[in-house]
Structure 1
Amino acid sequence: MSALKELTHTMWKNRRIIVAGGTSGFGLVLAKHLLAAGSLVLIVGRSSAGVRAALAACEGPAGRTDQPNGKMYGLSADLGQAGEGGRVVAECVRLLGGVDDLFFCIGRSGRGLMLQTNVAELRAFLEDNLISAVEISQAVAHEETARRGHFVYIGSLAGKLVTPFMGPYCIAKSALAAFVAALRLEIAPGGAHVLLVSTGPIARNHDDPRSSDVPQSRYQSDVKKNGLPASAAAPGGSAKLRPLDPDRLAIAVLTACRRKQSELVVPRAAGLLAGLIEWFPGLGRRLLARAANRRE
């Protein structure tokens, strides 16, 4: 392990952490890194079966979900439902004795056209990407702020760059980004750290319980339903983006926490383009359109 990775991992030893959406995908990768660093981790997923599969994926040779000084627990909850965020936090306090940090890794992507998206469909995007973050953040805020903990939210480049065929998802992730910014204004003065991670598509590890859930197949029904070009089903939609290595990204996220960064954008070029759009909207959007059209 490099000196940077070792230093980053050391700070997480014995931390009591909730990883919402930690049963698959990048949330599970983060949970594994935190477990390896000696954290006490509670992973939260929507289904009991998903929680059991994630715990099984984290088992060592002896069938144990613990590492030296670290241990993993699981809980099923639908954080979009009233009362569930508070229940998760209360269960974490019961199991671990408190909560030091929250990693929010819940979200749902999709493909569609705004002029064909009805209110119910847009509401579903908001519930999956924004509403599920609200109650658990409120429930944990007092204790985490008192402990100067970390609030980490895994967003998307879709919250910074609006690209073709991803309008509803972009709206939902932009709303999450605004929520995180508002939360930072309220709790950062008390010493807590709030980090928004905006990334492109993330590859799945081979040992992920949902590794067979290939992005192209996930979005095929959206593409067919809305009459979109086949390229819209690819990771990143119309934008040509290579899926990110989840383990490298996990180290980058934990390093950003150590440095108390307010935002991490990966790939970095996307962050520069988003900044260019803010300062020079016409030029920035022309460059974004050119990048999106390369896939066609």
Structure 2
Amino acid sequence: MTSTPPIGRWNDKVVLVTGGSGGLGRSIARAFVQAGADVVITARGAEALERTADELRAEGGRVTPIAADITRDDDVERLFATIREHCGRLDVLVNNAGLSTRSRVIDTTPDDFRGLVELNLLALVRCTRAAYPLISQQRGHIVNIGSLAGKVGSRYMGAYPASKHAVTAYTQQLRLELADEGIHVMLVCPGPIARTDGGTRYVKEAEDLPDVASKPGGGAKVRQLDPDRLAAKIVRGCERRNAELVLPPRARLLFAIGQLSARAGDWLVRRFT
């Protein structure tokens, strides 16, 4: 059964979600569709994109899938040229695409770091730079999906925390530099997000590591987040032009203690992972 998207502040706005074919990206796309926006989703897999687009269209959404590898300059240029041609505007960029891994950081090679930084950071930078001319015209929104691991260096997650710490710093720089242009920049730092494969996703990578390494969030002792609820909070965060969204909120206390005392912060990370 289809439904007509509501008329409101997001009506006729255009939102791009990277990594939009599944998981949190699909939930974010759905949340903006339900709010009335036109949504463009991108990911590498064309078939998965089409399935997600069909699913959201069946719910009444206006969705455009564009397959692209955002680690490639030419694909990003093509993606944004298509958005300019077919949409004529872009109001929200959600940099959601990313990847997590499992390994001891001492065993993580420079090539491992390069691979993860390419997707988790440089693809985000690439898309943000390409989106900027369109976003600035609308005084729009840039949303970067970080992680709790972008605030603390959790164990056994290889290059992931370093790549997400870089996202945290980059987002703050953007927020400070673009504020006078009226562009809203928000960092989202979620804990582990519920997935159908959450219990098995890292089993092979973590087979030689302590048991906690294979668990969601590296064994973080917090309730897994419902992706649809998180997506709804992201939409509200854009509406309120929040600077940062941290879930669960009590994680802010861990961040603060770690800044005041590295020893106490390390103890808390060990205690809650």
Give the TM interval when normalised to the shorter protein.
Answer: over 0.9
Q: In the alignment, is residue 76 of structure 1 matched against residue 88 of structure 2?
A: no
Where structure 1 has 5 or more consecutive residues not aligned to the other structure, the ranges are: 1-6, 205-210
Alignment counterpart, residue 216 of structure 1, candidates 199, 206, 212 = 199
For residue 98 of structure 2, what is the amino acid of its counterpart? G
The answer on whether the counterparts of 1:18 and 1:43 sit within 8 Å (CA) in structure 2 is: yes
Alignment counterpart, residue 216 of structure 2, candidates 221, 235, 241 = 235
Output the CA distance in 1 between the equivalents of 2:24 and 2:44. 15
For residue 11 of structure 2, what is the amino acid of its counterpart? K
> Taking structure 1 as the reference length, what is the TM-score of the superposition?
0.86
Mapping 1:1-296, distance limit 5 Å: 10-60=8-58, 66-67=60-61, 71-204=62-195, 211=196, 214-224=197-207, 227-292=208-273
The answer on whether the counterparts of 2:57 and 2:63 sit within 8 Å (CA) in structure 1 is: no
* % identity of equivalent residues: 34
Output the CA distance in 2 between the equivalents of 1:181 and 1:277. 19
Shift of 1:52: 1.4
For residue 289 of structure 1, what is the amino acid of its counterpart? R
Equivalent position of 1:4 in the other structure: none
Shift of 1:131: 1.1
Output the CA distance in 2 between the equivalents of 1:104 and 1:49. 21
Deviation readout 1:110-156 (Å, 9 max, x if unpaired): 11111111111111111121111111100111221231101001111
Output the CA distance in 1 between the equivalents of 2:40 and 2:178. 23
Deviation readout 1:38-59 (Å, 9 max, x if unpaired): 1111100111112112113224
The answer on whether the counterparts of 1:235 and 1:241 sit within 8 Å (CA) in structure 2 is: no
The number of residues matched between the two structures is: 269
The answer on whether the counterparts of 1:66 and 1:72 sit within 8 Å (CA) in structure 2 is: no
The answer on whether the counterparts of 2:93 and 2:142 sit within 8 Å (CA) in structure 1 is: yes
Output the CA distance in 2 between the equivalents of 1:262 and 1:15. 21
Output the CA distance in 1 between the equivalents of 2:164 and 2:211. 23
Shift of 1:84: 2.2
**Runs of 4+ in structure 1 over 6 Å off:** none
For residue 276 of structure 1, what is the amino acid of its counterpart? I
For residue 229 of structure 1, what is the amino acid of its counterpart? P
Equivalent position of 2:3 in the other structure: none
For residue 20 of structure 2, what is the amino acid of its counterpart? G
The answer on whether the counterparts of 2:101 and 2:158 sit within 8 Å (CA) in structure 1 is: no
SS at match of 1:217: coil
Shift of 1:185: 2.5
The answer on whether the counterparts of 2:258 and 2:266 sit within 8 Å (CA) in structure 1 is: yes
Name the stretch that deviates more: 71-80 or 271-280. Answer: 271-280
Shift of 1:281: 2.5
> Taking structure 2 as the reference length, what is the TM-score of the superposition?
0.93
